[in-house]
Amino acid sequence: MSGRRWTSLHLLLLLLAMALGLCLGGDQVSSPIEIWSALAGGGSPDGEQPVERDILFYIRIPRVFAGALVGASLALAGVLMQGLFRNPLASPGVLGATAGGAFGAVLAVALRLETLAGLAVPGAAVAGTWFALFVVYALAAGRSRLSVLHLILCGVAVNTLFSAGTSLILTLSTDRYEISSKIIHWLTGALTNRGWEHVLLILPFFGLTLPLSLFLARDLNLLLTGEESAWSLGANLDRLKRRVLLLSALLTGGAVAVAGMVGFVGLVAPHILRLIQGPDHRKLLASAPLFGGTFLILCDLVSQRLIPPEEVQLGIITSLIGGPFFLFLLARERRPQ
């Protein structure tokens, strides 16, 4: 199947997932006719809007859009990271970006910064993500060439430090139930109570990085042949690595700021697409956001419908789905050909 057909199919799947999210999201199931009536219907004679329309406009629709953008951002960041490291095990968190974002958000929650500004916690998550990748780059850039190995080693160290900081803050907050519950809620990921302000928060990050990422497809394809071969074919790998790190920071920061710690999307989604479409980054970078958005919306539906009326944290659902699938892929790789 051609690249355009695959992209069209992924777009159709995303639209279907969004429609399911509107129908099945929330406490009550709505039919498409009811949703259309709420969207097209007018207000009451006294000028008040019906409750169904407010629920749709201010709860369900922004939650679906936020989920789509978070999944798209993580999947796109995963493709960039796996292409840079030439390793299907790479993910947006391999360089400490996710851990840095989590530390920033947890620190903001512990300091009660949300009482000063409504988006203080998401803003701190973005700042933590950027700071983590800046530290990794500063530590690994001391050589004439920016080594992938040194990036990974520095990323592991930074990841460990930020994870330890997050654990320390959580330990010190155990006697404050409200703070500790918010921290745990953030660390396990969720799209609960996400509104239009969260959509507007992540949209600029994704809208800026998607077209810039597409321009990296050629160099990422050249990198598949090896670093020395890519250099000889005209790829500027130091510049490519800097751009991938920057774009990954923007994508991961926006995703963590909106949904918290949501694992496996940036790891599994690109891997599935490589099995379907092959390693060509021109196709992967175009289709990964659509596939990732679809995957996360469906996971969010499962989180809402698994044990109603309770809602399971989104990060738990993505791990429960992504973990066994990843183990299946590993077992499949070990089978004799």
Q: Taking 60 as the threshold, does the pLDDT of residue 201 lie above it?
A: yes
d(CA 278, CA 266): 17
Percent of the chain exceeding pLDDT 90 equals 32
32 within some domain: no
Q: Taking 90 as the threshold, does the pLDDT of residue 87 lie above it?
A: no
Question: Per-residue pLDDT averaged across 277-300, rounded?
Answer: 91
pLDDT digits (tens, 9 = 90+) for 167-185: 999 998 888 888 888 888 8
Binning pLDDT at 50, 70 and 90, where does residue 45 land? very low
Question: Per-residue pLDDT averaged across 74-101, rounded?
Answer: 88
267 within some domain: yes
d(CA 282, CA 27): 40
Q: Which of 6-20, 129-143, 186-200 has the highest mean pLDDT?
A: 186-200
235 within some domain: yes
8 Å CB contact between 258 and 70: yes
pLDDT value of residue 68 = 94
Binning pLDDT at 50, 70 and 90, where does residue 46 land? very low
72 within some domain: yes
Closest to 284 in 3D by CA, of 65, 87, 10, 13: 10
Number of domains the chain is built from? 1
Global pTM reads: 0.91
What integer best gives the mean pLDDT of the chain? 84
Binning pLDDT at 50, 70 and 90, where does residue 2 land? low
314 within some domain: yes
Binning pLDDT at 50, 70 and 90, where does residue 207 land? very high
| Residue 296 one-letter amino acid | L
Q: Taking 90 as the threshold, does the pLDDT of residue 30 lie above it?
A: no
Q: In sequence order, what E strands does 77-169 have?
A: none
The first and second tokens of residue 159, run together, are: 């990841």
46 within some domain: no
Q: What is the CATH number of the domain that holds 140?
A: 1.10.3470.10
Q: What is the chain's percent helix, strand, coil content, to nearest 5?
A: 75, 0, 25
Whole-number Cα distances in Å, 202 to 235, 294, 315: 31, 17, 18
Q: What is the residue range of 181's domain?
A: 3-19+51-330
The first and second tokens of residue 268, run together, are: 């599994």
d(CA 91, CA 87): 9
Q: Which value, in Å, is the radius of gyration of the alpha carbons in the chain? A: 21
Binning pLDDT at 50, 70 and 90, where does residue 237 land? confident
336 within some domain: no
Residue 46 vs residue 125, higher pLDDT: 125
pLDDT digits (tens, 9 = 90+) for 100-141: 999 999 999 998 887 766 678 888 999 999 999 889 888 887
68 within some domain: yes
Whole-number Cα distances in Å, 174 to 110, 138, 183, 184: 11, 34, 10, 10
The H-assigned helical ranges of 25-119 are 32-40, 51-55, 61-85, 97-110
Closest to 249 in 3D by CA, of 96, 118, 111: 96
d(CA 206, CA 213): 10
